[in-house]
């Protein structure tokens, strides 16, 4: 059993607030492109659902004035639960597990964050009944959770560990373009979704890239690769 | 052009809930933000009952809130599940300390959102049990089928009534849930449509039918049926629905039966009376005793012209709970 060096594995004290702010910017910027993917490989409501979620996030942050990681993520996950379709509740439950990272008032360590992401993946799979290869958000989430856990265990600093998670998620999301859906939004349109990246998997990439930015990585999250 | 009595089609659900509550001021209250209806006088010291789902099935579900039935009903958009957050708020509003039974029609979105609400409710120490209603015989593909299973339709009214009576008598969470599951497992429904419903604001019904055919095994969201059968008279249409139910339920002669002849939206009351007559004779011919009845629009599908028949074998306990007092907008005795 190796001991965790908390000085290098700690996320910034304002990580929750910064992450939510980065996600709001990135998902708002990406909503149109993600909605377009969903029109080609799903039921077309994902762009609208993201905009609805972001409006509810704004409302919750105004009303709750949350302070600290757990409270900020709680305001964020409850907004997603107020969104229709399947993506709203599944992202809501993912962020609910992430809100519990560390279970303290301060920001979690990268190890605790990795554990929470793995829990979130398990919850999404329990509710969505999707496996890797089914052309859903799980295709990005599963490799990302694995990469993050492994990077955290080998003592990478948070920005590098989250960078590894972003790369793994991106690889998984890119691969969804080549698969035919068995679960989720794209299973209704079959072969018509061939060649189109799953928008839920693409959103997972944005979410993790926002976490990397919030942890002290580059300033903004790129969204122009979606499409 | 199909004309409808609507204002803004996007506001039909909140406006309808408002109208229901304003016209039952002694019975109901509305939570505007989360679109759920509660009893005006909240019950205490009993198991709470919450149900809900997409709108367009009125009087289900909000019309069954009141003494002896539901504590809370939560409404989604037309034919769409309420969100997980709505269901969570509604579930917690139904709790008065002894836990909450969630009565859920078996549709993927409803089941997902009620399960999530149940899981999160545990954070605030609200115990929940889910009763899944899956009575639609038309979607019964056998035990081996990997799909979502039978849909939930008009037997929801029976589950809500029986569970409501048991909760009112002081039964505990497990007892109410087990009773609901027992009702759901022995009730079956078949439906047919002469014409599909039309969404608010739309000009055309959800599907077209030739004048000489009926949609057999139709769903309550305009889902296409199991087959198209030739149009026939009231006795013939009633037999078409009844016979597969009798085959599936295999009730011994002498069994007392609860029967629902349910209008799907724009069926005339006089048409349903003819169907009830035909059903009575069909059951009597098999030596069955139709002991309790509902005849009318209870679980509708917008303005679908058609009807469903639900049958459930009764026993002494179920008959007693069915007969117990109820006071809701949609059901009162």
- The answer to whether residue A4 scores a pLDDT higher than 50 is no
Residue A30 binned pLDDT confidence (cut-offs 50, 70, 90): very high
How many structural domains is chain A composed of? Answer: 1
Inter-chain residue contact B116 with A81, CB threshold 8 Å: yes
**Both tokens assigned to B302:** 């917008």
Residues of B whose CB is below 8 A from A86: 108-109, 112
A89 Cβ under 8 Å from any chain B Cβ: yes
DSSP state of A186: G
B-chain residue closest to A183, CA distance:
B147
In a domain, A161, yes or no: yes
Residue B182: φ, ψ to 5°:
-65, -45
Inter-chain residue contact B112 with A81, CB threshold 8 Å: no
A124 Cβ under 8 Å from any chain B Cβ: no
CA distance B84 to chain A (A): 5
What CA–CA distance (Å, rounded) separates B152 from B141?
Answer: 14
- Please give the pLDDT value at position A89: 96
In a domain, A125, yes or no: yes
In a domain, A21, yes or no: yes
Q: pLDDT tens for residues B234-268?
A: 999 999 999 999 999 999 999 999 999 999 999 99
Residue A1 binned pLDDT confidence (cut-offs 50, 70, 90): very low
Q: A111 is in which domain, residue-wise?
A: 11-214
- The answer to whether residue B25 scores a pLDDT higher than 80 is yes
In a domain, A3, yes or no: no
Q: pLDDT tens for residues A170-189?
A: 999 999 998 877 777 777 66
Mean pLDDT for the stretch of residues A49-60:
96
What CA–CA distance (Å, rounded) separates A31 from A49?
Answer: 9
- The answer to whether residue B110 scores a pLDDT higher than 70 is yes
- Please give the pLDDT value at position A184: 73
Question: Counting Cβ atoms within 10 Å, is residue A40 exposed (0-12), middle (13-18) or buried (19+)?
Answer: middle
Residue B268 CB neighbour total at 10 angstroms: 10
Q: pLDDT tens for residues B193-202?
A: 999 999 998 8
In a domain, A223, yes or no: no
Q: Are β-strands B100-105 and B48-55 bridged in parallel, bridged antiparallel, or unpaired? A: parallel
- The answer to whether residue A220 scores a pLDDT higher than 80 is yes
Choose from A89, A91, A126 for mutation: most chain B CBs within 10 A: A89
Q: pLDDT tens for residues A123-168?
A: 999 999 899 999 999 999 999 999 999 999 999 999 999 999 999 9
pTM equals 0.94
Write the ipTM.
0.90
What domains are there in chain B, each with its CATH number? 12-186 (3.40.50.10440), 188-321 (3.30.1180.20)
- Token pair 């060649």 is found at A195
**Both tokens assigned to A27:** 């998902």
Mean pLDDT for the stretch of residues A74-94:
95
The count of CB pairs under 8 A between chains A and B is 37
Residues of B whose CB is below 8 A from A93: 116
- Please give the pLDDT value at position B164: 98
Residue B185 CB neighbour total at 10 angstroms: 14
- Please give the pLDDT value at position A85: 84
CATH at residue A150: 1.25.40.340
In a domain, A4, yes or no: no
Choose from A64, A82, A126, A128 for mutation: most chain B CBs within 10 A: A82
DSSP state of B194: E
How high is the mean pLDDT of chain A? 91
A78 Cβ under 8 Å from any chain B Cβ: yes
- Please give the pLDDT value at position A5: 46
In a domain, A225, yes or no: no
Mean pLDDT for the stretch of residues A31-49:
89
Cis omega before residue B61 (within 30°)? Answer: yes
In a domain, A222, yes or no: no
DSSP A74-108: HHHHHHHHTS-TTHHHHHHHHHHHHHTTTSSSSPP
A184 Cβ under 8 Å from any chain B Cβ: no
- The answer to whether residue B29 scores a pLDDT higher than 80 is yes
Inter-chain residue contact A82 with B86, CB threshold 8 Å: yes
- Please give the pLDDT value at position A188: 67
SS (H, E, C) A136-160: CCHHHHHHHHHHHHHHHHCCCCHHH
Mean pLDDT for the stretch of residues B180-184:
98
- Please give the pLDDT value at position B1: 60
């Amino acid at each position: 059993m190796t001991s965790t060096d908390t000085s290098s594995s700690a996320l910034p004290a304002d990580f929750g607030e910064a992450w939510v702010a980065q996600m709001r910017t990135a998902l708002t910027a990406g909503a149109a492109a993600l909605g377009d993917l969903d029109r080609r490989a799903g039921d077309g409501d994902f762009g609208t659902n993201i905009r609805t979620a972001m409006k509810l996030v704004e409302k919750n942050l105004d009303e709750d004035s949350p302070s600290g990681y757990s409270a900020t993520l709680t305001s964020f996950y409850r907004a997603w639960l107020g969104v229709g379709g399947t993506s709203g509740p599944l992202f809501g439950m993912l962020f609910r597990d992430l809100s519990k990272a560390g279970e303290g008032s301060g920001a979690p360590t990268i190890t605790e964050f990795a554990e929470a992401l793995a829990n979130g993946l398990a919850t999404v799979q329990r509710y969505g009944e999707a496996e890797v290869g089914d052309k859903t958000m799980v295709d990005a989430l599963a490799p990302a959770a694995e990469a993050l856990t492994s990077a955290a265990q080998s003592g990478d600093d948070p920005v590098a560990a989250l960078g590894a998670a972003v790369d793994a998620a991106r690889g998984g999301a890119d691969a969804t373009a080549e698969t035919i859906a068995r679960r989720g939004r794209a299973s209704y349109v079959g072969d018509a979704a061939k060649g189109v990246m799953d928008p839920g998997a693409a959103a997972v990439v944005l979410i993790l890239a926002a976490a990397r930015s919030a942890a002290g990585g580059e300033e903004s999250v790129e969204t122009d690769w979606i499409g | 052009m199909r004309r409808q009595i609507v204002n803004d089609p996007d506001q039909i659900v909140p406006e309808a809930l408002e109208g229901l509550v304003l016209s039952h001021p002694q019975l109901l209250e509305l939570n505007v933000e989360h679109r759920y209806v509660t009893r005006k006088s909240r019950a205490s010291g009993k198991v709470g009952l919450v149900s809900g789902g997409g709108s367009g099935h009125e009087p289900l579900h909000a019309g069954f809130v009141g003494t002896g039935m539901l504590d809370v009903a939560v409404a989604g958009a037309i034919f769409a599940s309420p969100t997980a957050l709505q269901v969570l708020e509604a579930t917690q509003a139904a709790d008065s300390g002894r836990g909450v039974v969630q009565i859920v029609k078996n549709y993927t979105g409803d089941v997902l959102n009620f399960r999530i609400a149940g899981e999160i409710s545990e954070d605030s120490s609200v115990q929940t049990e889910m009763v899944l209603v899956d009575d639609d015989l038309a979607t019964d593909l056998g035990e081996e089928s990997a799909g979502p299973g039978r849909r939930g339709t008009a037997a929801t009214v029976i589950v809500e009534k029986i569970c409501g009576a048991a909760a009112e008598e002081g039964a505990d969470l497990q007892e109410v849930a087990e009773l609901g599951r027992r009702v759901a497992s022995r009730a079956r429904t078949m439906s047919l449509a002469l014409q599909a419903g039309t969404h608010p604001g739309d000009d055309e019904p959800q599907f077209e039918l030739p004048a000489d055919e009926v949609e057999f095994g139709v769903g309550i969201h305009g889902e296409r049926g199991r087959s198209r059968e030739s149009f026939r008279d009231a006795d013939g249409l009633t037999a078409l629905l009844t016979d597969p139910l009798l085959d599936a339920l295999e009730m011994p002669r002498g069994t007392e039966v609860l029967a629902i002849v349910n209008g799907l939206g724009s069926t005339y009351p006089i048409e349903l009376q003819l169907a009830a007559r035909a059903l009575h004779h069909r059951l009597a011919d098999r030596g069955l005793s139709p002991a309790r009845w509902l005849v009318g629009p209870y679980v509708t599908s917008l303005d679908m012209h058609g009807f469903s028949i639900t049958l459930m074998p009764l026993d002494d306990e179920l008959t007693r709970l069915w007969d117990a007092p109820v006071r809701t907008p949609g059901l009162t005795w």
